[in-house]
A and B are shown apart, each in its own frame.
Chain A
Amino acid sequence: MRTNLIQSYMQNNTQAVQQYHSDNVRKNFDVKKELSNRTFIKPLPSNGHLVKNTLFDYPSEFFRVIKDNNKALVHAVKGKANDNELGKLNDLGMKLGGLTIATYLFSRKFAPLAKSMEFVGLVSFFAAMDLWPKLALQLPAYLIHGFDIRQQYRDNYGIKKPVFQDHQFIPWDLYSDEEINKIGDRLRVPKDMKNRRDFIQEKMRKIALQNNTMWMLTAGFATPIMSALICEGLSGPIHNYQDRKLNKKANALLSNFNNEIAKYDFSEKNKALETLLEENKGKTITSELFGQISKTLSKGMDSITASEIAKDLKDVIMQQRGYNISRETFENMSKSLKDVFKGIPENEMNEFIPNADEIISKLDDGKKGVIVSGEMLTNQREFSSFVKVFEDAIDEKLNAFEEANQGNKNVKKARFLADEMFDGMNDGKSGLNKFFKATPTSVLTDSSIQTIKDVNKTLNTFHARQRVLNKYAYLKSAQAQETYLANTWNSILDGDMLKTLNITDKEIKNTRMDSKLVNELLREKFEAIVADDAKYNAVMDKIIEKLNFLEERTKFAQYDKYNPDEKNSYKTYIDTTFDEASGELKSKQMYNTARRLTGYDVQNGVDSHTLKDLQLSFVQDRVRGVKSSFYRLLNTLDFFKRVSDKEHLDSMYEYKYTDAAGNLLKHVQFTRQIKEEMIEMSKQLLLGGHSSDYAVKFFFLRNPELNPDNLTDEQRRILFSDIKTDMGKVVNEFYGKQAFEKLADNPHDRIFYDSAMRLMYTDQLSAKTKGKIENSMFFKNFEQYRQELFSYLGGDEYFTKKNHKVVGGNANSTTEFRFQLLGSAVDDMFTKLFNQKYNGKTWLKMFGGFGAGLLGLTILSQFFMGKMPKDKIVKENK
């Protein structure tokens, strides 16, 4: 019997057909039965069903998606994929592209949070794409209309599709009457309606279509905004996690110090050095070879240390600095003249050039004897005698030739060229040098090689240890984003600081652009706080909490760098690293290098200007800058409090100067005018003074008339009266009352300067402050800060105000140290914080607000969906 195409279709299990087979369909299909009962053309039994996943199905769904994607990819590569599979691959391409972007941007960022956020951004974007329709459309629609507008189904071939994807082809048969009627009830479709199912279906279709359209219209706005908001929300927890991880990582460097060192591989360097030494063993150490050895040995070291190593190496392996002179030297000299006399006819040239013997014959007897006997003159450093004999030999030849050939111009030329050559000798430019320096006397002996290898071993160990220490110091305190110290700063200077100081968003908005405005605002706030003990106590509590936190997190930098018994592990490892290396280097006569590492005397503390000191100071310097900034805030608040309570303002009232024996040499009582000026200046300086203000010993316009004459008794009484304060502010009687043009800075009043410094930094703390902080972790450090600031900044000398030094001050400090000690100005610190907060809030307000609005609008739109024309209901009801 001849088969027809349908049979051929069923029998030939061709590849193109296979993919459309569902196992179940095949299993239930009996060709003979279908043909025999003549009902062949009819729909195949449906295997489609609605997909009803619960939360527990997500893991299996997840793996199913991966499996389906793999299958789709394999099919597509072979050219057998269907439309659904190709659609999946488009999504795969999109994710692959996203991942590529994130990986690339990850490679270009260096701060851990920024790096992570590239991937968080990518994932959040896809998450937002998926979440938005679920959250803003699917869920509200389900709650309001009672059915899932994103309902999925599996068709006969097991392919998952949304039911309402194509409104012209909705597989309604997958919903049972019961399900549809239930939805109808929720949609408030009259129960006694004719063709109720059709009506409900139409309503559902409409709602789903309207939702799909809303999805398309809103997704463009929602996805990027939602993604950004997710990132914003996640950045905090991720940052905290990374901070903990970073600290652990840093601490692990020290706790596994030896393992960490072992990670540094010097085999390449060792091999290079070994080869170099083996190849040149027994050979003279030419400057080129020396350069190679020293460069290989100091690979990875900083340039100063490298040059010290070179210096030492020269002493150690090139003890004989001179060069060997042999017969060959003179032969080469003679040969070289051919180049010098270039241009002179050869026959004449030969007459001009003395041969080696002729040059040697000019040497003094001692040297001549050695050369003639075939020996070498060793360790020669001075070459002038050899130059002299060379010069004489040439002269002799030229003179002889000139005598025989009167008027020959080439002789003059040769003489000129020879002179030129010898002239170059003086400034080292002459090529002659190379003949003398051709063979250095020092050779690379076995013992030199051993020394170099020993030094190399020491340097490798030192280098590895130093790198681990550097890594630790970087992670903990480098001036970079997201180091442990930077995170500490950001944690302290956070939004709750603003809340504590009662600073509102509006105030931030109005002042953030200018630190002067911030200064004024802070002054108002501080004055209000100190006027109210309850408020002051609350602020103190917050600041104590923050400073304790700071103290806790900066313990790693708390060590006495001059104490050899210090237990801090970073300091201990530094001691071991540097002292051991230095000791070993010294034993190999590498004194300059040892000095570079640890200075002259390792036993008695640390020499400054050494690598060891740098390593010890780096961490402490960085921490000092941070701590000083917050101590300054505390000191400022305390000063405001003292002024408000008129407490411990001793230096404002009088100035006493005593000699060493305690005899009073000078005693000045300040007028109210000066007191007011001093307080005003101190307030301004504490809030906004920079290191330059302290360096120039303050520029402050005051009334130059310190002691006005012709005052009435009443005026005199007022002039010597005490200051008045009200609500934290000074009620000025004098300050600010004079015309501006009459004011002047007084560069001669050192007492005013000295007293102001004492008022700010050495007068006792307010009892309220002291009561609060004296049991804190940082009290001692805070006291030390005040003392150091007074001493080092006050003791500094400024050339135009030479006498403006506090008594007992210490002038021995660097600009950098003074800068760190002063810390950040309070107004600068808050200006930055204001901007940071304002920028974040503005963004959040703008897009968070927009996102919330969009979400509200989208949800609201549900109530306008699925409206059916009235006439249709009536018509259907007939």
Chain B
Amino acid sequence: MILPVGSFDKQNLIFKANDSQGNELPKSDTLLKNNLSTRTRIAMDKFTKAFTVYPARGLKGSINSDFYEFLTMGTVPYVVGSLTLMSVFNSAAKHFEAFAQSSAYKIGNKMALGVVFYALAKSLSKSLVNLPVKWATGIDTQLPYLKVNHQLPESKDDFDLTSYEYHKVGESVEFTRWDLLYGDPNKKGELNKIYDKIAKRNGLGTNLNDSDQAVKPVYKEVLVKSTLARSISSYLWAAAGVCLAAQKPWETYFNVATGKFWDTKNFNHSLKVFGESFVESAKEFYNPKNPKNILEKYSGKGVLALAVLSTVIGVLNTLNISKKPSKVSEKDVMDKNKESVVG
């Protein structure tokens, strides 16, 4: 889900990670700060490219088109599919006679709202896992970095082709970018600074000689378990979003809904009714009036309980870290100071 961006200028269109001066493009992969601003810009960049640069390259069959671009293009069917789904339920209705039209719109609007709520709930609910995990373990599973790709020339006119991709340190549990978590080896105490912090937070000890080695298994376990928690719970929250949108009280909102924000009076009224309908729908979802059977009476509560439980269990499972520091005894570890030959 793309968060609204107030303004961005041409300079920011190609996002630069460490460009306080706005000139230098990074030469190598660079860790980024995980804050709203970065996330928004990354989302914006990926969204734009998913609809423009990447499809163009893919259709051309470019040698430089890679798996990242393919995955990023996954946004296209997601967004287009959402709009098509809304359209499937709404577009034909304008040709219907009044009564059928109003019935069709009632269903269609709820469906459209369901699509929006699906995306919102899926996106926002991920924080329900990410934040507690981050607070409890100090591990930011969503930590982004900028990847610098030096590409192959596609024609004789091409030289020094560089592309920038936005990845996450922990996006692969097999190829986690541990290297980016190390600090400057030349500064005392900087090298393992991030690992030290995580080790301390997880009770692995302080002033460790090799906090990185102690932390990596824990880090990896947290990545795996939190990914599981996110994968399952986010879809269940999304489902709860769709179910919430399917409630009758939304019809009140659809009657006054307007996107014309310049018509302040009506727009404000529409927002107010949105709030009221939201509250009423939430009530109806949780505790339906005049349920016709037990299934109907408890199904809303069931969906919510499923979403909440999947999040809570997922987070608790993530925080239940089983990995301990390596048990390899001192004598089995190669002495780094001695010369050794491999192969």
Do the two chains belong together in a single complex? yes
Q: Does A210 contact B (CB under 8 A)?
A: yes
Q: Which residues of B contact A651 (CB under 8 A)?
A: none
Q: Tell whether, in the assembled complex, residue B173 and residue A81 are in contact, meaning their CB atoms are under 8 Å apart.
A: yes
Q: Does B36 contact A (CB under 8 A)?
A: no
Q: Tell whether, in the assembled complex, residue A107 and residue B239 are in contact, meaning their CB atoms are under 8 Å apart.
A: no
Q: Tell whether, in the assembled complex, residue A40 and residue B61 are in contact, meaning their CB atoms are under 8 Å apart.
A: no
A435-449 with Cβ < 8 A to chain B = none
Instruction: Please measure, in the bound complex, the distance between the C-alpha atom of A225 and the C-alpha atom of B236, giving whole angstroms.
Output: 24
Chain A contact residues (Cβ within 8 angstroms of B): what range? 35 or more
Q: Which residues of A contact B323 (CB under 8 A)?
A: 79
Q: Does B322 contact A (CB under 8 A)?
A: yes
Interface of A is mostly: helix
Q: A80-B224, A205-B61, A214-B59 are in contact. Are A220 and B236 (CB under 8 A)?
A: no
Q: Tell whether, in the assembled complex, residue B77 and residue A219 are in contact, meaning their CB atoms are under 8 Å apart.
A: yes
Q: Which residues of A contact B80 (CB under 8 A)?
A: 219-221
Q: Which residues of A contact B92 (CB under 8 A)?
A: 839, 842-843, 846-847
Q: Tell whether, in the assembled complex, residue A110 and residue B84 are in contact, meaning their CB atoms are under 8 Å apart.
A: no
Q: Tell whether, in the assembled complex, residue B84 and residue A225 are in contact, meaning their CB atoms are under 8 Å apart.
A: yes
Among the listed B100, B104, B225, B303, which residue makes an inter-chain contact with A79, where contact means beta carbons less than 8 Å apart?
B225
Name which residue of chain A comes closest to B235, CB basis.
A97
B45-69 with Cβ < 8 A to chain A = 54-55, 58-63, 65-67
Among the listed B97, B231, B295, B322, which residue makes an inter-chain contact with A93, where contact means beta carbons less than 8 Å apart?
B231
Instruction: Please measure, in the bound complex, the distance between the C-alpha atom of A77 and the C-alpha atom of B314, giving whole angstroms.
Output: 9
Most buried by B among A40, A41, A206: A206
Q: A2-B331, A97-B236 are in contact. Are A76 and B96 (CB under 8 A)?
A: no
Among the listed A86, A101, A168, A217, which residue makes an inter-chain contact with B55, where contact means beta carbons less than 8 Å apart?
A217
How far, in Å, is B122 (CB) from chain A's closest CB?
Answer: 8
Q: Does B289 contact A (CB under 8 A)?
A: no
Instruction: Please measure, in the bound complex, the distance between the C-alpha atom of A146 and the C-alpha atom of B311, giving whole angstroms.
Output: 47
Q: Does B234 contact A (CB under 8 A)?
A: yes
Instruction: Please measure, in the bound complex, the distance between the C-alpha atom of A82 and the C-alpha atom of B173, giving whole angstroms.
Output: 6
Q: Tell whether, in the assembled complex, residue B58 and residue A209 are in contact, meaning their CB atoms are under 8 Å apart.
A: yes
Write out, one digit per residue, whether chain A residues 503-524 have a CB within 8 A of any chain B CB (1) or not (0). Answer: 0000000001100000000000
Q: Does A167 contact B (CB under 8 A)?
A: yes
Write out, one digit per residue, whether chain B residues 288-313 have a CB within 8 A of any chain A CB (1) or not (0). Answer: 00001101100110110010000000
Write out, one digit per residue, whether chain A residues 548-574 have a CB within 8 A of any chain B CB (1) or not (0). Answer: 000000000000000000000000000
Q: Tell whether, in the assembled complex, residue B67 and residue A167 are in contact, meaning their CB atoms are under 8 Å apart.
A: yes
How far, in Å, is B311 (CB) from chain A's closest CB?
Answer: 12
Instruction: Please measure, in the bound complex, the distance between the C-alpha atom of A223 and the C-alpha atom of B100, giving whole angstroms.
Output: 26
Among A3-11, A25-33, A675-683, A769-777, the stretch in contact with B: A3-11
Name which residue of chain A comes closest to B341, CB basis.
A4
Q: Does B325 contact A (CB under 8 A)?
A: no
Write out, one digit per residue, whether chain A residues 640-676 have a CB within 8 A of any chain B CB (1) or not (0). Answer: 0000000000000000000000000000000000000
Q: Does A865 contact B (CB under 8 A)?
A: yes
Q: Which residues of A contact B243 (CB under 8 A)?
A: 100-101, 104-105
Q: Does B279 contact A (CB under 8 A)?
A: no
Q: Does A739 contact B (CB under 8 A)?
A: no
How far, in Å, is A743 (CB) from chain B's closest CB?
Answer: 32
Name which residue of chain A comes closest to B216, CB basis.
A16
Q: Tell whether, in the assembled complex, residue A3 and residue B239 are in contact, meaning their CB atoms are under 8 Å apart.
A: no
Q: Which residues of A contact B331 (CB under 8 A)?
A: 2
Q: A104-B303, A166-B67 are in contact. Are A212 and B58 (CB under 8 A)?
A: yes
Q: Tell whether, in the assembled complex, residue A104 and residue B300 are in contact, meaning their CB atoms are under 8 Å apart.
A: yes
Q: Does A92 contact B (CB under 8 A)?
A: yes
Among the listed A92, A104, A107, A210, which residue makes an inter-chain contact with B232, where contact means beta carbons less than 8 Å apart?
A92
Instruction: Please measure, in the bound complex, the distance between the C-alpha atom of A863 and the C-alpha atom of B248, giving whole angstroms.
Output: 49
Interface of B is mostly: helix
Name which residue of chain B comes closest to A861, CB basis.
B59
Q: Which residues of B contact A207 (CB under 8 A)?
A: 61
Instruction: Please measure, in the bound complex, the distance between the C-alpha atom of A75 and the C-alpha atom of B342, giving whole angstroms.
Output: 33
Q: Which residues of B contact A103 (CB under 8 A)?
A: 299
Instruction: Please measure, in the bound complex, the distance between the C-alpha atom of A83 and the C-alpha atom of B334, giving whole angstroms.
Output: 30
How far, in Å, is A152 (CB) from chain B's closest CB?
Answer: 16
Q: Does A96 contact B (CB under 8 A)?
A: yes
Q: A79-B322, A80-B224, A86-B228 are in contact. Are A96 and B235 (CB under 8 A)?
A: yes
Q: Which residues of B contact A225 (CB under 8 A)?
A: 84, 88
Among the listed B77, B100, B228, B295, which residue makes an inter-chain contact with A81, where contact means beta carbons less than 8 Å apart?
B228
Q: Tell whether, in the assembled complex, residue B225 and residue A76 are in contact, meaning their CB atoms are under 8 Å apart.
A: yes
Name which residue of chain B comes closest to A209, CB basis.
B61
How far, in Å, is A38 (CB) from chain B's closest CB?
Answer: 8
Q: Does B19 contact A (CB under 8 A)?
A: no
Q: Which residues of A contact B236 (CB under 8 A)?
A: 93, 96-97, 100
Among the listed A3, A90, A165, A209, which residue makes an inter-chain contact with B332, where contact means beta carbons less than 8 Å apart?
A3
Q: Does B78 contact A (CB under 8 A)?
A: yes
Name which residue of chain B comes closest to A212, CB basis.
B70
Among the listed B60, B70, B81, B222, which residue makes an inter-chain contact with A224, where contact means beta carbons less than 8 Å apart?
B81
Q: Which residues of A contact B198 (CB under 8 A)?
A: none
Q: Tell whether, in the assembled complex, residue A104 and residue B340 are in contact, meaning their CB atoms are under 8 Å apart.
A: no
Q: Which residues of A contact B246 (CB under 8 A)?
A: 104-105, 108
Write out, one digit per residue, whether chain A residues 40-53 have a CB within 8 A of any chain B CB (1) or not (0). Answer: 11000000000000
Q: Does A12 contact B (CB under 8 A)?
A: yes
Name which residue of chain A comes closest to B172, CB basis.
A83
Q: Tell whether, in the assembled complex, residue B67 and residue A206 are in contact, meaning their CB atoms are under 8 Å apart.
A: no
Q: Does B183 contact A (CB under 8 A)?
A: no
Q: Does B5 contact A (CB under 8 A)?
A: no
Q: Does B161 contact A (CB under 8 A)?
A: no
Q: Which residues of B contact A4 (CB under 8 A)?
A: 334, 340, 342
Q: A76-B228, A839-B96 are in contact. Are A228 and B235 (CB under 8 A)?
A: no
How far, in Å, is B234 (CB) from chain A's closest CB?
Answer: 7
Instruction: Please measure, in the bound complex, the distance between the C-alpha atom of A80 and the C-alpha atom of B224, giving whole angstroms.
Output: 7
Q: A108-B246, A846-B92 are in contact. Are A86 and B70 (CB under 8 A)?
A: no
Q: Does A809 contact B (CB under 8 A)?
A: no
Q: A83-B173, A842-B92 are in contact. Are A93 and B232 (CB under 8 A)?
A: yes
Instruction: Please measure, in the bound complex, the distance between the C-alpha atom of A38 and the C-alpha atom of B59, giving whole angstroms.
Output: 47
Instruction: Please measure, in the bound complex, the distance between the C-alpha atom of A66 and the C-alpha atom of B202, giving whole angstroms.
Output: 35
How far, in Å, is B305 (CB) from chain A's closest CB?
Answer: 11
Q: Which residues of A contact B172 (CB under 8 A)?
A: 83
Instruction: Please measure, in the bound complex, the distance between the C-alpha atom of A89 and the C-alpha atom of B221, giving whole angstroms.
Output: 16
Instruction: Please measure, in the bound complex, the distance between the C-alpha atom of A83 and the C-alpha atom of B293, giving whole angstroms.
Output: 43
Q: Tell whether, in the assembled complex, residue A8 and residue B100 are in contact, meaning their CB atoms are under 8 Å apart.
A: no
Name which residue of chain A comes closest to B294, CB basis.
A107
Q: Which residues of B contact A40 (CB under 8 A)?
A: 343
Among the listed A98, A216, A223, which residue makes an inter-chain contact with B239, where contact means beta carbons less than 8 Å apart?
A98
How far, in Å, is B194 (CB) from chain A's closest CB?
Answer: 20
Name which residue of chain A comes closest to B240, CB basis.
A100
Q: Tell whether, in the assembled complex, residue B59 and residue A79 are in contact, meaning their CB atoms are under 8 Å apart.
A: no
Q: Does A78 contact B (CB under 8 A)?
A: yes
Name which residue of chain A comes closest to B59, CB basis.
A213
How far, in Å, is B203 (CB) from chain A's closest CB?
Answer: 17
Name which residue of chain B comes closest to A835, CB basis.
B97
Among the listed A80, A168, A213, A842, which residue makes an inter-chain contact with B73, where contact means beta carbons less than 8 Å apart?
A213
Q: Which residues of B contact A104 (CB under 8 A)?
A: 239, 243, 246, 299-300, 302-303
Q: Which residues of A contact B321 (CB under 8 A)?
A: 79
How far, in Å, is A69 (CB) from chain B's closest CB?
Answer: 12
Name which residue of chain B comes closest to A219, CB basis.
B77
Q: A8-B328, A216-B77, A221-B84 are in contact. Are A94 and B235 (CB under 8 A)?
A: yes
Q: Tell whether, in the assembled complex, residue B81 and residue A223 are in contact, meaning their CB atoms are under 8 Å apart.
A: yes
Residues of chain A at the chain B interface (Cβ within 8 Å): 2-6, 8, 12, 16, 38, 40-41, 73, 75-83, 86, 89-90, 92-94, 96-98, 100-101, 103-105, 107-108, 110, 165-169, 205-207, 209-210, 212-214, 216-217, 219-221, 223-225, 228, 512-513, 835, 838-839, 842-843, 846-847, 865-866
Top-9 shortest CB links A-B: A220-B80, A213-B58, A97-B235, A206-B61, A79-B221, A166-B67, A220-B77, A107-B299, A76-B228
**What are 8 A-B pairs with beta-carbon distances under 8 A?**
A16-B220, A86-B224, A92-B232, A93-B236, A98-B235, A217-B76, A224-B81, A865-B61
| Additional A-B contact list (10), CB under 8 Å, known A4-B342, A217-B55 | A79-B321, A86-B228, A93-B231, A93-B233, A100-B306, A105-B243, A167-B65, A213-B65, A228-B88, A835-B96
